[in-house]
Structure 1
Amino acid sequence: MEEAKGVVKHVLLAKFKDGIPPDEIEQLIKGYANLVNVIEPMKSFHWGKDVSIENLHLGFTHVFESTFESTEGVAEYLAHPAHVEFANLFLSHLEKVLVIDYKPTTVRT
């Protein structure tokens, strides 16, 4: 793994299973967002629905992005009991999921 220090973005792409009511999806998203209040290494949380006109989403409908100060922070988050409990619930409602962690790089010209 690359150097551990420095901001890390944790991106989860999701497609919820067919038939899950919108209010249940909303409650799951609120639960995900609440993790930032419970798990110290999680510094921020953003989410949204696909609005692209390119139609390259491969069926993914939602994106969730969390920010951490290091890869160790991501590891602490993943092992945290609140995350483990939430992930078991959340993942059971998903048809598709893809997770990528990356370190943002600013291009200087």
Structure 2
Amino acid sequence: MDKAKGFMRRVLLVKFKAETAPDHVERFIKDYSNLVNLIESLKTWHMGNDVIIDNLHEGFTHVFELTFEDAEGAAAYVVHPAHLEFHERIAHLVEKTAMIDYKPTSFHT
């Protein structure tokens, strides 16, 4: 297995509160995606909606994957004023999150 040098990825699962209006979810996504334009260490931002048919999502409806230049870049993102302001504005919309950071690893057999 070869660990990628540098890059680090973060996967975030989000469960919005039941009363969160769809237009607020859309605004959340738009504002969240814009962080890639505001924070230099954030290199890529992707998202998707849950499409599983087996109902194993435990209420999580959205997944976000962020790529950082390295672990230090991820740490800088957490305290960046744009991230802190975004988090403060949207925290009331979210019921639950789950997050994992990882270094991409190639596996060859």
Paired position in structure 2 for 1:104: 104
Look up the equivalent residue of 1:98 and give its one-letter code: A
Q: TM-score, normalised by structure 1?
A: 0.91
Gaps of 5+ in 2: none
- Percentage of matched positions with identical amino acids: 55
**How do 1:17-36 and structure 2 match up within 5 A?**
17-36=17-36
Following the alignment from structure 2 to structure 1, what is the Cα–Cα distance between the partners of residues 83 and 15?
Answer: 19
Post-superposition offset of 1:68 = 0.6
Q: TM-score, normalised by structure 2?
A: 0.91
* Structure 1 segments of 4+ aligned residues over 6 angstroms from their partners: none
Q: For this pair of structures, how many residues does the alignment match?
A: 106
Gaps of 5+ in 1: none
Following the alignment from structure 1 to structure 2, what is the Cα–Cα distance between the partners of residues 82 and 28?
Answer: 14
Post-superposition offset of 1:91 = 2.2
Following the alignment from structure 1 to structure 2, what is the Cα–Cα distance between the partners of residues 92 and 20?
Answer: 9
Following the alignment from structure 1 to structure 2, what is the Cα–Cα distance between the partners of residues 106 and 22?
Answer: 38
Paired position in structure 2 for 1:56: 56
